[in-house]
């Protein structure tokens, strides 16, 4: 008999959610996490006594408790967590800012419609039509790739508006350059423009504790500092995993959440890992400023998506950072978040992994400092200068992300090729997480849930 | 188990799955799915709970037998008679 019925590689959100499902229904489950803290891309760390989150800007898919069909509430039911007892803070309002137009949106979809009525009066009826088409589209039934850009052009015929709508949807979850799959577009459109942004009360640390406690409550086992070095094959089946220290743990089934390039490397899968390498990676800078400074900079904006050009160049940049467009997030600007001594400003720009990778260690440190300054000054041109007010700062480059999360090339949205059904050539090895196709925190968790439901419970 | 006991088990499982479930106006002969706004993922949970509690294996092509409260009881009665 195998040591476990299911081994899950990776203690990120998809892995923990998968673990809750399998442990809840009695499968003997082991979750392996390489670090001493769970969360994967959405984790936290300590510097100088300050806890900082690594990834979380906001969660998407906001829904009131009681709305049973909403993805967030379905997810909570699946994890057997009480939605009523889960305190959330909704966004105030976010904004898409281009040179010649700006659109605000909130968790009330009517705001965006009113903004479009003001800025693009000729397109407002076509935008209503777009919303109907998005509502009617089924993105979960496998379908061939379709261009979201073509769909938008046919439906709206208003190029600037199309570019503006694409910016938040791409930057919060598109692994492809230039265009995105229509199914992915529909999922992102609903989760951002129809449902909207919120934060869980507290930080990602409390949210992760809620999840890991639930997993352990159901009898799931969790091992930290457990780096998997090999997914062990035996004939045409997977036998288990080997840890970096040499220990072999056997399992009836293995679920990998480490992405396609990582899974290919661990299994010796005969596939070109390169084809599954994402091009889109980012650098993020977290700045702590006195609370009043952040409040004065951009009152009541939660997330600001800016572009200095009329078209969106969503692609790997040929410079270290692309400062022409980006995201500025104010994690303190959610309704009901209490004032603290310091507030964060997080800004994100597309980065070029290959350039960062090529830098020698000494040069890398200098480049990181220089580009952090450039990114903050650049964000300052959008929201007003704040570099002088920064009391603490840290940046993550694509290399930081690759090193800590094993996301190949720091591509946080993973492979442009998605393994939507979660299967592999081995009947007892499955894929969940970013490379299975759902993105964001809610999406990652639904991915773990869905793959366990489809392949391991039935 | 008696028919009434089976009915109580089903309602208890649903209540356990969905903290918002309300049974006040439940029509035992109408589909549970529509009345309680449940989806296929919730239905899987009912099946999984039955498996966990009574080691009952319900094949996927028999899930429609669980459509209404009455059909659930009819379907489960012979299976749970010694439970």
Contact A69 B37 (CB under 8 A): yes
Domain range A4-83+202-276+415-456, CATH architecture: 3-Layer(bba) Sandwich (3.50)
Taking the Cβ of residue B39 and every Cβ of chain A, the question of whether any pair is shorter than 8 Å is answered with yes
Long-range contacts, A186-192 (Cβ 8 Å, 24+): A186/A134, A186/A137, A186/A139, A187/A139, A187/A438, A187/A439, A187/A443, A188/A60, A188/A439, A189/A134, A189/A165, A190/A61, A190/A134, A190/A135, A191/A60, A191/A61, A191/A71, A191/A440, A191/A442, A191/A443, A192/A60, A192/A105, A192/A168
Residues of chain A with pLDDT under 70: 298-299
Listed in sequence order, the residues at least 6 apart from B15 whose beta carbon sits closer than 8 Å to its beta carbon are B21, B23
Contact A77 B60 (CB under 8 A): no
Query: CA A437 to CA A330: how far, in whole Å?
Result: 27
Taking the Cβ of residue A141 and every Cβ of chain B, the question of whether any pair is shorter than 8 Å is answered with no
Q: Are strands A88-90 and A29-32 parallel, antiparallel or unpaired?
A: unpaired
pLDDT digits (tens, 9 = 90+) for B11-24: 999 999 999 899 99
In this prediction, residue A298 carries a pLDDT of: 66
Taking the Cβ of residue A84 and every Cβ of chain B, the question of whether any pair is shorter than 8 Å is answered with yes
Give the ipTM.
0.91
Contact B18 A26 (CB under 8 A): no
In this prediction, residue A93 carries a pLDDT of: 96
Taking the Cβ of residue A453 and every Cβ of chain B, the question of whether any pair is shorter than 8 Å is answered with yes
Q: Counting one residue from A and one from B, how many pairs have CB atoms under 8 Å apart?
A: 34
pLDDT digits (tens, 9 = 90+) for B24-83: 999 999 999 999 998 889 999 999 999 999 999 999 899 999 999 999 999 999 999 887
Q: How far apart are the first and last CA of chain A?
A: 20
**Residue A430: in which H helix or E strand, if any?**
strand A429-431
Contact A77 B18 (CB under 8 A): yes
Task: Please answer whether residues A325 and A167 qualify as being in contact, where contact means their C-beta atoms are separated by less than 8 angstroms.
Answer: yes
Q: A304: which 2 tokens?
A: 């600001």
Chain B CB contacts of A458 below 8 Å:
44, 60
Taking the Cβ of residue B52 and every Cβ of chain A, the question of whether any pair is shorter than 8 Å is answered with yes
**Residue A308: in which H helix or E strand, if any?**
none
Nearest to B48 among A25, A65, A82 (CB): A25
Q: Which of A5, A25, A452 to mutate to probe the B interface, most B CBs <10 Å?
A: A25
Cα A167 to Cα A122, A384, A394, distances in angstroms: 21, 22, 25
Residues of chain A with CATH 3.50.50.60: 4-83+202-276+415-456
Taking the Cβ of residue A449 and every Cβ of chain B, the question of whether any pair is shorter than 8 Å is answered with yes
Q: Are strands A221-223 and A198-200 parallel, antiparallel or unpaired?
A: unpaired
């Amino acid at each position: 008999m195998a040591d476990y019925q299911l081994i899950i590689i990776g203690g990120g959100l998809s892995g923990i959610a998968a673990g809750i499902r399998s442990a809840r229904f009695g499968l003997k489950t082991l979750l392996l996490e390489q670090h001493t803290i769970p969360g994967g891309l959405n984790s936290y760390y300590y510097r100088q006594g300050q806890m900082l989150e690594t990834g979380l800007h906001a969660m998407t898919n906001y829904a009131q408790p009681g709305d049973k069909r909403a993805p967030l509430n379905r997810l909570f039911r699946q994890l057997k967590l009480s939605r009523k007892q889960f305190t959330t803070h909704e966004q105030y309002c976010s904004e898409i800012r281009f040179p010649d137009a700006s659109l605000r949106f909130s968790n009330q979809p009517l705001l965006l419609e009113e903004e479009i009525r003001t800025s693009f009066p000729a397109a407002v009826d076509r935008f209503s039509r777009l919303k109907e088409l998005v509502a009617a589209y089924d993105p979960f039934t496998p379908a061939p790739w379709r261009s979201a850009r073509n769909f938008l052009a046919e439906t709206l015929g208003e190029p600037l508006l199309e570019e503006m709508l694409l910016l938040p949807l791409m930057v919060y979850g598109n692994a492809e350059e230039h265009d995105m799959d229509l199914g992915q577009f529909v999922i992102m459109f609903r989760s951002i423009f129809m449902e909207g942004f919120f934060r869980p009360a507290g930080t990602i640390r409390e949210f992760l504790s809620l999840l890991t406690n639930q997993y352990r409550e159901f009898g799931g086992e969790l091992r930290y500092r457990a780096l998997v070095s090999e997914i062990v094959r035996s004939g045409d089946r997977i036998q288990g995993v080997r840890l970096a220290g040499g220990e072999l743990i056997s399992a009836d089934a293995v679920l990998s959440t480490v992405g396609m390039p990582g899974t290919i490397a661990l299994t010796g899968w005969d596939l070109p890992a390169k084809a599954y390498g994402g091009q889109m990676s980012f650098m993020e800078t977290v700045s702590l400023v006195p609370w009043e400074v952040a409040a004065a900079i951009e009152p009541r904006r939660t997330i600001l998506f800016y572009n200095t050009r009329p078209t969106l160049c969503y692609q790997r940049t040929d410079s270290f950072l692309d400062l022409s467009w980006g995201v500025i997030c104010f994690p303190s600007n959610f309704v009901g978040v209490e004032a603290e001594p310091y507030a964060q400003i997080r800004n994100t720009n597309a980065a070029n992994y290959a350039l960062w990778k090529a830098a020698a260690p000494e040069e890398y440190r200098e480049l990181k400092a220089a580009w952090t300054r450039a990114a903050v000054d650049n964000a300052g041109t959008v929201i007003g200068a704040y570099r002088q007010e920064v009391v603490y700062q840290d940046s993550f480059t694509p290399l930081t992300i690759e090193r800590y999360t094993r996301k190949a090339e720091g591509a946080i949205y993973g492979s442009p090729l998605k393994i939507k059904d979660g299967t592999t050539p081995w009947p007892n090895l499955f894929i969940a997480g970013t490379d299975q196709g759902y993105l964001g925190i809610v999406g990652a968790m639904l991915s773990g849930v869905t793959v366990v439901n489809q392949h391991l419970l039935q | 188990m008696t028919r009434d006991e089976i009915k109580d088990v089903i309602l208890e499982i649903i209540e356990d799955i969905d903290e918002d479930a309300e049974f006040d106006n439940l029509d035992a002969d109408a589909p549970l799915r529509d009345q309680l706004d449940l989806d296929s993922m919730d239905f899987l949970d009912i099946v999984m709970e039955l498996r966990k509690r009574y080691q009952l294996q319900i094949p996927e092509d028999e899930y429609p037998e669980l459509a209404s409260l009455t059909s659930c009881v009819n379907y489960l009665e012979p299976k749970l008679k010694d439970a």
